[in-house]
Chain A
Amino acid sequence: MEVKLVEVKGVSKTFNGVVRALDEVSIAIRQNEIVGVVGENGAGKSTLMKILVGVFPPDKGEWYYKGRKIPFPKNPKDAAKRGISIVYQEKGVIPCLRVYQFLLLGHEDKYTKISRLHIDKMKKHAREILEELHVKCDIENFMYELPISTQKMVEIARAILSVRLEHEEDDITSIIILDEPTAPLTIEERRELFSHILDMKKNASFIFVSHIIPEVMEFTDRVYVLRDGNLVIHYDLSKKKITEDDLFRAIVGRESSEYIHKPEIERVVREETVLTVKNLTKNGCYYDISFDLHKGECIGIFGPAGSGKSEIVNTIDGFISFDEGVLIVKGQEVKSKELPHVRLSRGIGYFSGETGKELFLNWPITKNISIVNIEKILRKLIPVISFNAEKRMAEKIVQRLRIKAPNVNTDCYSLSGGSKQKVSVGKWLERSPDILLLEDPTIGIDVGARKDIYEITLEMKKSGISMILVSDDPKEYSILCDKIMFIKDGRIQKVLSPEQFKKVMAT
């Protein structure tokens, strides 16, 4: 049995004296292993991680380092001295720095001689660490020039490096916390990132915080499941075999099959065609795309990153122009260079799940919903906004989508990730466009909120809204779509029914 490198026992944390974020949670990390921490939004994952890196202290709890009891870290630098460092979900990268500058950022004092930086020494050190971790990139490159997965790798390298530079003992093993590292990545990039992380396992231990069950199942050695601040269960994946459903049940406390299978019954596609795409080509992105979208139908475009799937959707919405081909919306041929707002007036809406992309964070829920529905709340005589109508509209949506908020005037930045997404979807529900384009509709939100979003989407579909889905989650296609197009290198390879798609994905 390997030694427990770091173990925390009975950690509790209460916010404002009321909200119990963590209740007697204990976890341990051994040398050279990947530990998963999963749970819904608000389950306490982030709080636990923040306690581990010293952002705030716990109310009570004990910290053991190799079996020896020591106090909790006081700040992130203190945590780094004990070997713990964190890679945040997003915004960790500084794009305008060169790779070696970014790697050693904050540790320049170790390379300074009479206030002059030893650039050569920095570069040498940076090159060494990247070589050791098998990260392939030129240290002279700017961060923004790297693919996102490589950026993540450099971030991880930086975390390991910061532990080494801050350490007190020589043989310290880094424990790197990855806070939902895959959220901004596509499937391909994820695979690459994980193969790298597995490779790094001999250099460090990892705590992997995630929503995405298959990932956790595939890449971690042990999994801790948190729910409502409690440690529900702890699986040792190397000893006991569990299924995705087991893990799902543990996370949400309810059965997963109820929403995975039920909606398949209601697949009604009407004859009327709302969108026709004929031989659409954008040089360098996609070629010869043709399909018909019927009323109430949902077509999925599935393919690896860079296959042109998001470019197709963005073309239909007007963000990108096309070079050749014909695009017919509700019987009318449209021009290539038509802007998004014109397409919206033709009935094409676009919904992206990326946080903060679509939402106005410093706005209350009311405004976020009325932004695409202004016609509905203008007074009849003069075009002036009726605030009552606006409020009523928002209340209706909040109630219908079960958005958790004190009232409709709550600013959106204070909502949870799932609720934010629901507000974004809610405005389209109210607007009910003829065609809704969905890009990663449930990215980065927890399983419960996902279920709600799927329900809303299916409801909209039933009411006759046609949809085109682009996502990184294959399961989403089998839940929502009537037809799935496989696309590779910008060309449609084959068209499958959801049942066929499932079979293909299963093999």
Chain B
Amino acid sequence: MKILNRKMLILPLIIQTLKTHPVIIVLITLFMMFSILYPEKFLTPLNLSTILKQFVTLTLFALGPSIVVVTGSLDLSFVGIWMLGGILVWLLMPILGMFSILVIPLLGLVTGFLIGVIQVKAKVPSFILTLSLLVTYGGLTATLSGGYPRHVRGYEFITARLIQYIPTAFLWSIPIIIAAVFIIKCTRIGIYLYAIGSNEEGAHLAGINVDKYKILAFTISGLFTGIGSIVLFQHLGGAAPVELNLNNMVWPLVAMVLGGTPLMGGSGGPQRTVLGALTFAVVYRGLLLSLLHPQMIQLLVGLLLIVSIIVGTRGLKGVTIT
């Protein structure tokens, strides 16, 4: 009797989960499809490890912005924080030694706070504001670095292998992911951010300090990007690049949208971004294995973004924040 009851509970739960996170179906389907298409290449430990690596990159970049996107704003500054942070580490290394890595989260925090304050006080669209900031940071990075990518040694321990085939960066990302999901799901900050994104006037009426929480959203986003960038700094080669890479900026957005976060606010969040990032990593790896020309893959990724935006936005009504 008891077992029967439990069974009857589990099935609706699964259906409910799939309804709110349809991307899971996509993920499983693609995974199975690629496993059948490339039986020898896809299901190898090395390949799966590569997928995890890319997943880490996407997730750590997209976690912060997916907190902001809940309020209906957009934060594109993440690549900038990562780049400028890297070069600041290189600059401060002689002075601060190993502690200089902590400048990245600090930079993230300050940047996020600044964006928040400017956005709230000047009432400018966050998209163009953060994009401008990204370009500014890119320029600053290039200037400070003198035009060459600067390699920093001493932080190899961050990604030193602990378990065979499992990237250590992935292990690092787990607590960060949990923290982000926790903030958005289980604290009042999370509820208030959803409220602002869903109905800003209603949030005012419910006595929420909208401006404060908007600033807070950007600040948290910056902090998460900063913390993630510590891992990414080493994960992506231990050097700060001096040129903006469009893929680094667009792919995390694709992961976000693919996960089912419509960019208009009020729903979605980090928990979906994680699923989206995993799906994107699988898709990308599958496409690479197909021996398509890289430019062709770029095109397909673009199309994927368009399709997932349409699906994600049209499915808005059936989507809840639970």
Contacts and interface: CB of A to CB of B under 8 A. Distances in A.
Interface string B248-280: 000000000000000000110000000000000
Nearest to B185: A385
23 contacts: A339-B209, A340-B204, A341-B207, A343-B207, A344-B207, A350-B205, A352-B205, A356-B202, A357-B205, A358-B205, A360-B266, A362-B198, A362-B320, A364-B320, A364-B322, A367-B194, A367-B321, A371-B195, A371-B206, A374-B188, A384-B186, A385-B188, A409-B322
B317 interface: yes
Interface residues of A, number: 32
B221 to A, nearest CB: 21
Contacts of A350: 205
Contacts of B319: 362
Interface in B152-198: 186-188, 191, 194-195, 198
Contacts of A371: 191, 195, 206, 208
A413 B198 contact: no
B190 to A, nearest CB: 8
Nearest to A352: B205
A341 B213 CA distance: 12
B264 to A, nearest CB: 11
Interface in B108-130: none
Given A339-B209, A358-B206, A413-B317, A378 B199 contact: no
A383 B202 CA distance: 24
Interface in A326-377: 339-341, 343-345, 349-350, 352, 356-364, 367, 370-372, 374
A362 B266 contact: yes
Nearest to A410: B320
A357 B207 contact: no
B186 A360 contact: no
Interface string B292-322: 0000000000000000000000001101111
Given A367-B191, A385-B187, A362 B267 contact: yes
Contacts of B188: 374, 378, 383, 385
Nearest to A343: B207
B205 A341 contact: no
Interface of A: 319, 339-341, 343-345, 349-350, 352, 356-364, 367, 370-372, 374, 378, 383-385, 409, 411, 413, 427
Contacts, number: 74
Interface of B: 186-188, 191, 194-195, 198-199, 201-202, 204-209, 266-267, 316-317, 319-322
Contacts of B209: 339, 341
A363 B205 contact: no
A286 B195 CA distance: 32
A284 B256 CA distance: 48
Contacts of B204: 319, 340-341
Contact of A340 (B199, B205, B320): B205
A360 B198 contact: yes
B202 A349 contact: no
B133 to A, nearest CB: 27
Nearest to B316: A362
A488 B228 CA distance: 60
Contacts of B205: 340, 350, 352, 357-358
A385 B194 CA distance: 14
Given A364-B320, A367-B191, A385-B186, A359 B199 contact: yes
A383 B194 CA distance: 18
Contacts of B208: 341, 371
